[in-house]
Amino acid sequence: MSSHSIFSKIINRELPSYIVCEDKQNIAFLDINPSAIGHTLIVPKLEVDNIFTLNENLYNSLFSFAKKVANNMKKKITCNRIGMSVVGLDVPHAHIHLIPINSFEDMNFNKSPLKLTNEEMLNICKLLKFNA
């Protein structure tokens, strides 16, 4: 079976990524075009285009996993809170954005992404990495 979305390729280790955490059903990795330091994507391992078509168990698992990742992020990154967004238009694979924020404007997806080096991304990944 071949992978279709870029996220499935990350899940199957066909593409490199900065994986923060994973469990049997979900994976968290850094967004390569981050809005803020620590911007993380929460993705179900099952490739489904629309988050609301996930069955109830997978949907609940995804949001429970996102909560664990967000709580870990809040402990390790100085910010007011961790913002959450589900847009679903950029990649045809359900996902949640977790973004460290200090104001509502920090959730603006129209602003230019941060330009981070591979070393900076590795350091952020190392900071946020944990076992679920």
3-state helix, strand, coil in the chain (%, to 5): 35, 20, 45
- Of the candidates 4, 39, 93, 95, the residue annotated as catalytic is 95
CA distance 31 to 106: 15
Question: Which helix (H) or strand (E) segment is 97 a member of?
Answer: strand 96-101
* Strand positions, DSSP E, 31-76: 40-44
HSE-up (13 A, CA, CB side) for residue 11? 24
Amino acid identity for residue 96 in this structure: I
Output the six-digit token pair for 57: 């168990």
| 93 counts as catalytic | no
Active-site amino acid positions:
95
